[in-house]
Structure 1
């Protein structure tokens, strides 16, 4: 007679009572009391899943995601407006420079022609003119014509190799540490055409772009040409206070100019702390802005003279913007 040996399977929870029920999910065996307990545990896990599902659904469609999205949109819009303001200020500044140059040259020519007109009228009326007079008047008119022609040689120069003064923005997904495709950036810079040689007047302008609120920053300049009728300025202005074209009318101006003049909060002072401009062609200057110490300094590498200037941030608050300008005017007639 064949014998049958019953296999003894214990409960997975208590290990004592026979496991008479098998869970299809985990394939474990449970006794009757622990079968119900196991099921209640599964019911609790299911309830937690439903709760997380509902919370996630609410987060996606709720206010939190929309607020986060709007916050980023506002940052983009602020960048856009600030960039537009920078472009507009540069355009206004360039327009003012152009108007000033054209007006100065035109008025100069008008004045000289006005001086010549009575001489020509009188000479023609009286008949008192000779070959030498004709030659002199012809040379003067030819020079005036050259001046008028040179005025047409001004052009707007786009320096594609210059450092952009509009910062580039992009989205950065921190979840995978990969940058999203950056928004395209355009570089803007405007200068006069330095390749044009003007026999009578040569306007050149350099205005460093940038804004600083902390740390120490230095800029090195070499003076390629300097004559007694040149004008020069090494200084700073507050970026957010004044946006006029003429830096000497800026109440936030701190810096050094020719003629031994120092500007402190827009106030010109002669020989302040022994300052002497002593500028020559070929000089190299180091201009330093120390935001942490609220100090700017200027060093002439030829004379080894260094001048420090404390900045009152109540008059020239951060951010500071370097304002370095050169103006050379030649009048040979």
Structure 2
């Protein structure tokens, strides 16, 4: 504050007195009202200090990112539950598939051995019969070894990849409103043209045609927009390694420029 040498009008009382200027607001006060002004400033400053103290208490009590942490914890819980459910479902699929393959191999083995017993009992066999039984045994051994190799090396990786994709898809779908509509399949598991069996990879072209890797049916199916059934465009001739067959195809891409289909034929490793 600076004291003036001449009398001037006070901002508050409007009387001519010796006045003092406030460097903050640039207003001029007499001594009495200057003291009142300073007291008011002190009170305002104390109010600000009190507000700071209250905010400090809020900071000390506040848990960092409490709302976000709750959301993350809930997401973690939901994700773990979904992973466990999906993993169990695929365990069951793997067990069932292995059981069916083993039953099929046992039935074939039983049929061949019964035939061998019959030939041996009748004591009527030649080199052609012996070669046939040898070839059948080698074929069954090869099938058994290939099946064990797929189960121990490749299939677990396939199922893990499927599991990961399914979990991610379901986590995304959980964020959407549940008002979707079925555009392909939805008629139970099966091999008819209006059915699918364990569908995996999909591709949608510029005409909105949907190409589906129908894994369980060992085929690629194309569904045109608003159609109630699909068209087999690759495979569909049973599981196998022929050029017109597929074995657990997991993904598909339609090359529109060359009008060709690129398929990940997982079971045939091609």
Structure 2 residue 85 is the aligned partner of structure 1 residue 89 = yes
Q: 1:282 to 1:85 in 2, by over 3 A?
A: closer
CA distance in 1, matches of 2:16, 2:126: 139
For 2:268, the equivalent position in structure 1 comes to none
For 1:285, the equivalent position in structure 2 comes to 223
How far apart are 1:56 and its partner, in Å?
Answer: 0.5
How far apart are 1:108 and its partner, in Å?
Answer: 0.9
- Which of the two has greater helix per residue? 2
For 1:166, the equivalent position in structure 2 comes to 168
What CA RMSD, in Å, does the superposition of the two structures yield over aligned residues?
4.1
Worse-matched range after superposition: 16-25 or 75-84:
16-25
For 1:58, the equivalent position in structure 2 comes to 57
How far apart are 1:60 and its partner, in Å?
Answer: 1.1
Q: 1:261 to 1:131 in 2, by over 3 A?
A: same
Among candidates 67, 78, 82, match of residue 71 of structure 1: 67
Among candidates 154, 177, 181, match of residue 213 of structure 1: 177
CA distance in 2, matches of 1:72, 1:114: 62
How far apart are 1:46 and its partner, in Å?
Answer: 1.9
Structure 2 residue 232 is the aligned partner of structure 1 residue 299 = no
Q: Which has the higher contact order (CA 8 A, sep 6+)?
A: 1
Structure 2 residue 17 is the aligned partner of structure 1 residue 18 = yes
**Number of equivalent positions:** 201
Q: Helix, strand or coil: the match of 2:9? A: coil
Q: Helix, strand or coil: the match of 1:20? A: strand
Gaps of 5+ in 2: 196-218, 241-270
Q: Helix, strand or coil: the match of 2:228? A: strand
How far apart are 1:147 and its partner, in Å?
Answer: 1.8
Structure 2 residue 116 is the aligned partner of structure 1 residue 153 = no
Q: 1:259 to 1:23 in 2, by over 3 A?
A: closer
How far apart are 1:69 and its partner, in Å?
Answer: 3.7
Q: Helix, strand or coil: the match of 1:153? A: helix
Deviations 1:126-176 (A, max 9, x none): 64421222122123223212321331235123669x978438xxxxxxxxx
Structure 2 residue 134 is the aligned partner of structure 1 residue 138 = yes
CA distance in 1, matches of 2:142, 2:110: 17
- Give the TM-score normalised by the residue count of structure 2: 0.57
Q: 1:258 to 1:141 in 2, by over 3 A?
A: closer
Gaps of 5+ in 1: 1-5, 168-206, 222-233, 236-253, 263-280, 288-296, 303-325
How far apart are 1:117 and its partner, in Å?
Answer: 2.4
Q: Helix, strand or coil: the match of 2:12? A: coil
Q: Helix, strand or coil: the match of 2:6? A: coil
Deviations 1:212-252 (A, max 9, x none): 53455676x7xxxxxxxxxxxx22xxxxxxxxxxxxxxxxx
For 1:36, the equivalent position in structure 2 comes to 35
